[in-house]
Structure 1
Amino acid sequence: MNDRVVQQRLPSLRQPPLQFAHRGARAHAEENTIPAFELALKLGATGLETDAWLSQDGTPVLDHDGIVRRGVRRLPLKRLELDELPAHIPTLTQLYETCGTEFELSIDIKDEA
């Protein structure tokens, strides 16, 4: 039996390859915000990755952990109406309205349950 492992780098099937920005350009702007997504696309990303939660009124909003901090309280996004959320948390609609649709989008649909 031959235990030797052979590795080979395969070319991308897509030319040019996709370049995803995980939560936007988070090294330069607050992650999962419109400025982070805009900057990522400006810097050459061909795709964006984000997490989506539903607010209490059913609006898809983009945030990593789904928790809003108010003082010492931690509130799940799903218990807040859209107008109760901090302004920096964008909706999926705001992402498309601001950044357009000429990019790939990978969304992790989150559920606190």
Structure 2
Amino acid sequence: MGVSELIIGLTIVAAGTSLPEVFTSAIAAFRGERDIAVGNVVGSNIFNLLGVLGFTAFMTADGLNISSPLVYFDLPVMVLVSLLCLPILLTGTLINRKEGAFLLGLYLIYVILLYSVS
């Protein structure tokens, strides 16, 4: 279909591996266990970034080749979004619907940009 492996990994594979965390966090939030919901998301992302990536790089003889689009587009986007999350997480103990919609909108914009750039 002409879609690069990077885009497949950043969208389809990422969504597929994150959906269990989304459902677990949603169920925890509905049950009033909001700390579990937030901890699940943050912990999963930290493990995926450091544990999975680190283990994969450790297991390969030559290391992992990182493509230019990942370094110059996706990595800065990840850092920017992480910085944008700080005010939301530090201003209170509640992430409201407006902030949730904002974060979801950022993801949709990212996916649209990802497909339009390629």
User: What TM-score do you get using the length of structure 1 for normalisation?
Assistant: 0.25
Relative to total residues, which structure has the larger strand share, 1 or 2?
Answer: 1
Q: Which one has a bigger Cα radius of gyration?
A: 1
Relative to total residues, which structure has the larger helix share, 1 or 2?
Answer: 2
User: What TM-score do you get using the length of structure 2 for normalisation?
Assistant: 0.24
Q: Which has the higher contact order (CA 8 A, sep 6+)?
A: 1
